[in-house]
Amino acid sequence: MPLVEPIPNLSETGPDAVERILAAAKDLFAESGFNAVSMNAIAEHAGVSKANVFHHFKSKNALYLEVLKTACSESGSQIDQLGSGSGTLVERLRDFSQSHLANILRDEKISRLIQRDLLENGPQRGKEFAEQVFGQNFARLVEILRTGQKKDELRKGIDPAMLATLLIGADVFFFQSREVLRHFPDVSFTDTPESYSAMLVDILLRGILPQP
């Protein structure tokens, strides 16, 4: 029972079958993970026969890798423009935090897909992601922070890589824990990522101690 019909395809020009398969696979893999999705389900979702899926992709794993590759390139290009803005380091940090979280939330499917893949494929995949997907952006962020530190916009004792980890980690944790946090009565920010981001940067900048 296909939950989504393959676009009625009124006469002829619909999305290419390959694209429909990739889109269906992306949705289903992100939703339920590699093992829980059958090639039959993908085929039905895409409105083609299972055999046709195998005609275009030599195996389930090959299809999965193709989906992952696409997702990663999208994910990478989204973050590209970050950190290139001008202004003080403080302004740039605010911008980065806001747009980074927005990017994660924008295509939830991609985020889930990558999260799932990292969880299921262990250290080896972790290395691949570090080197091929996130490495550049992380290094750039660290470099920006280091430069700011030299210009005395950042405290000397701070490890730039630690700060970068914290900035990214806070957003990632927000993304994947929203559905838990939402049910804590003390928590008020799950529906407004902007306010989460603002509070995060505020804490990072000024610290949590009372100021004389």
Nearer to DNA, 60 or 178 (CB): 60
Does the footprint of its own copies cover residue 212 (CB under 8 A)?
A: no
41 binds, among its own copies, DNA, none (CB under 5 to 8 A by kind): DNA
Q: Which long-range contacts (CB under 8 A, 24 or more apart) does 165-169 make?
A: 166/204, 167/93, 167/96, 167/97, 167/100, 167/141, 167/200, 167/204, 168/100, 168/138, 168/141
Position among 15, 54, 189, 198 found at the interface with DNA (CB under 7 A): 54
Residue 50 contacts DNA per CB under 7 A: yes
Is residue 9 part of the contact set for DNA (CB under 7 A)?
A: no
Interface of this chain with its own copies, residues 155 to 184, rule: CB under 8 A: 155-166, 168-170, 172-174, 176-184
CA atoms 113, 114, 119, 120: torsion sign: positive
Interface with its own copies by CB under 8 A: which range of 16-24, 68-76, 95-103, 112-120?
112-120
Determine if 4 is a binding residue for its own copies (CB under 8 A): no
Rounded-to-integer distance, Cα 201 and Cα 90, Å: 9
CB of 51: closest distance to DNA in angstroms? Answer: 3
Label residues 172-192 b or e (16+ Cβ within 10 Å = b).
eebbeebeeeeeeeeeebbee
Give residues 55-74 in contact with DNA (rule: CB under 7 A): 55-56, 58-61
Three-state DSSP state, 82:
coil
Q: Binding pattern to DNA, positions 138-177, x when CB under 7 A?
A: ----------------------------------------
CA distance 205 to 90: 8
Give burial (CB, 10 Å; 0-12/13-18/19+) of 131: exposed
> What number of other Cβ atoms are within 10 A of residue 82's Cβ?
18
129 binds, among its own copies, DNA, none (CB under 5 to 8 A by kind): its own copies
- Select from its own copies, DNA, none the partner in contact with residue 131, using the beta carbon and a kind-dependent cut-off of 5 to 8 Å: its own copies
Q: Which residues bind DNA (CB under 7 A)?
A: 12, 17-18, 37-41, 48-52, 54-56, 58-61
